[in-house]
Amino acid sequence: MHHIRRLENPVLSQVIHQQWKFSKICFALIVQSFLLLVICQLLFRARLGRFTDLIFLSEALLVLIVAPYLVCSGLNKHFAPLLSTDLQLSRMRPRWVWLIVILGSQIYTFCFLGLAALLFTILIPSISKITHLEVVQLHLVFGIYIIVAASAGGLCWRIFRHELFATEATYLGWSLLIGGVFLLAPLERYLENLQPIIPPFLHLNPLSAVCHLLEFDVFRTPHLYELTPIPSYLVVYPSWYIVCIWQILIGICCVALSWWNRV
């Protein structure tokens, strides 16, 4: 136990204190702002909706992209030297040590989220019908997504023990959850009615919460209308808090599997 405590203190120091530097935070905010603009511009060029709606859709995608990379990078940096023996790896097992690395690696993402929440709460309601409450709720959802995406990245790193492979595996998982609705098109050839199986795809899709809060049907936009059979059915987006509950359950499962002895 004494050795574990000596391990925990350096982890806490390296993950949080070394990242809490003004220059690093400013650089991270600039990079994430640039990525947000790039994603938003791509979605706008694809004509997926109004610019104000696409800003929040882009912010959700940004969170799901950045959080896994940061956590895999942090885990690789702090725990890779301990992988030489199984005994040393077992000393990573204390729960709050693992969570310190997962949450501490997201300092830059939470800083960006806080700044975006402040700016968008002031600016967006003045140029659109989106209310201040909806902006706050959206950023609450994004905060949950940061933790869930980091947990998923932590599980993938635990499995692959490699920063690049773990990040790519996490991206693949999110791609399946987000793009799973496009797999319905081939199924339509074999099933007469897809109505019963569409809701699970929407409940597990993290972007459904954004669409519900903004009352924005992304699948009935011109570019996506023919790529998925969803517009052909009477479909109601699940409430944003239900989608968040599913995401939280995914995060809990990822953390539980990360602590499992066989992983």
Q: pTM here? A: 0.87
- Other residues' Cβ atoms within 10 Å of the Cβ of residue 88: 13
Query: How many independent structural domains does the chain possess?
Result: 1
168-200 pLDDT, tens digit per residue, is: 999 999 999 998 888 887 877 777 788 888 899
CA 259 → CA 91, 148, 159, 256, distances in Å?
11, 15, 11, 5
Q: What is the mean pLDDT of residues 25-40?
A: 94
193-227 pLDDT, tens digit per residue, is: 888 888 999 999 999 999 999 998 888 888 787 78
HEC secondary structure over the chain? CHHHHHHHHHHHHHHHHCCCCHHHHHHHHHHHHHHHHHHHHHHHHCCCCCHHHHHHHHHHHHHHHHHHHHHHHHHHHHHHHHCCCHHHHHCCCCHHHHHHHHHHCCHHHHHHHHHHHHHHHHHHHHHCCCCHHHHHHHHHHHHHHHHHHHHHHHHHHHHHCCHHHHHHHHHHHHHHHHHHHHHHHHHCCCCCCCHHHHHHHHHCCCHHHHHHHHCCCHHHCCCCCCCCCHHHCCCCCCCHHHHHHHHHHHHHHHHHHHHCCCC
- Domain encompassing residue 254: 2-259
Q: What is the mean pLDDT of residues 91-97?
A: 56
**Please, what sign has the CA dihedral across residues 192, 196, 200, 205?**
positive
Q: Are 210 and 48 in contact (CB under 8 A)?
A: no
Q: Are 145 and 247 in contact (CB under 8 A)?
A: yes
What is the pLDDT, as a whole number, of residue 85? 45
Question: In whole angstroms, what is the distance from residue 172 CA to residue 104 CA?
Answer: 24
Mean pLDDT of the chain: 84
Token couple for 205:
């899709």
Residue type, 69: Y
